[in-house]
Chains A and B, each alone.
Chain A
Amino acid sequence: MKVSMKVNGVSRDGDVEPRTLLVQYVREHLGLTGTNIGCDTSSCGACTVHVNGESVKSCTMLAVQADGCDVVTIEGLAQGGEMHPMQKAFMENHGLQCGYCTPGMVMAAISILKENPSPSEEDVRIGLEGNLCRCTGYHNIVKSVLAAAKS
Chain B
Amino acid sequence: MIPAPFDYKRASSAAEAISIVSQYGDDAKFLAGGHSLLPLMKLRLAQPAVLVDIARVNDLSYIRDAGDHIAIGALTRHTELERSSLLQQHIPLLSHAASHVGDPQVRHRGTLGGSIAHADPASDLPATTLALGATYVAQGPNGTRQIAASDFYKGFLESALSADEMLTEIRVPKMDGAGWSFQKFNRRAQDWAIVGVAAWRKGSNAGVALVNMGSTPILASSVNQAIAQGASVEDAARLASSEAEPQDDMNASADYRRHLASVLVRRALEQSSR
Contact = CB atoms under 8 A, between A and B. Distances in A.
A65 B102 contact: no
A48 interface: yes
A33 B249 CA distance: 37
Contacts, number: 79
A55 B34 contact: no
B250 interface: no
Interface string A39-65: 011110100100100111100111011
A21 interface: yes
B104 A112 contact: yes
B147 interface: no
B203 interface: no
Nearest to B189: A129
B263 interface: no
Contact of B105 (A17, A18, A41, A48): A48
A54 B83 CA distance: 14
A34 interface: no
A55 B104 contact: yes
Contact of B38 (A45, A61, A108): A61
Contact of A1 (B4, B8, B105, B189): B8
A111 B8 CA distance: 29
B42 interface: yes
Given A19-B4, A40-B1, A129-B189, A111 B35 contact: no
Say whether chain A's binding surface is mostly helix, strand, loop, or mixed.
Answer: mixed
A42 B106 contact: yes
B6 A18 contact: yes
Given A60-B39, A64-B8, A130 B2 contact: no
A24 interface: yes
A65 B2 contact: no
B51 interface: yes
B206 to A, nearest CB: 29
A130 B190 contact: yes
Contacts of B248: none
Given A19-B2, A130-B102, A130-B190, A61 B109 contact: yes
Contacts of A61: 34, 38, 109
A120 to B, nearest CB: 16
Interface residues of B, number: 28
A62 B31 CA distance: 11
Contacts of A115: 104
B6 A45 contact: no
A130 B53 contact: no
Contacts of A1: 8
Contacts of B10: 64
A55 B190 contact: no
B104 A111 contact: yes
B105 A19 contact: no
B105 A57 contact: yes
Given A61-B34, A62-B38, A56 B108 contact: yes
A131 B2 CA distance: 21
Nearest to A130: B103
B38 A130 contact: no
B55 interface: yes
Contacts of A62: 8, 34, 38
Interface of A: 1, 17-21, 24, 40-43, 45, 48, 51, 54-57, 60-62, 64-65, 108, 111-112, 115, 126-127, 129-131
- Lowest 5 CB-CB distances: which A-B pairs, in order? A130-B103, A18-B8, A129-B189, A54-B108, A129-B103
Interface of B: 1-8, 10, 31, 34-35, 38-39, 42, 51, 53, 55, 79, 102-106, 108-109, 189-190
23 contacts: A18-B5, A19-B5, A19-B6, A24-B2, A40-B1, A41-B42, A42-B35, A42-B105, A54-B79, A55-B104, A55-B105, A56-B109, A57-B106, A60-B38, A61-B34, A61-B109, A112-B104, A115-B104, A126-B189, A129-B103, A130-B102, A130-B104, A131-B103
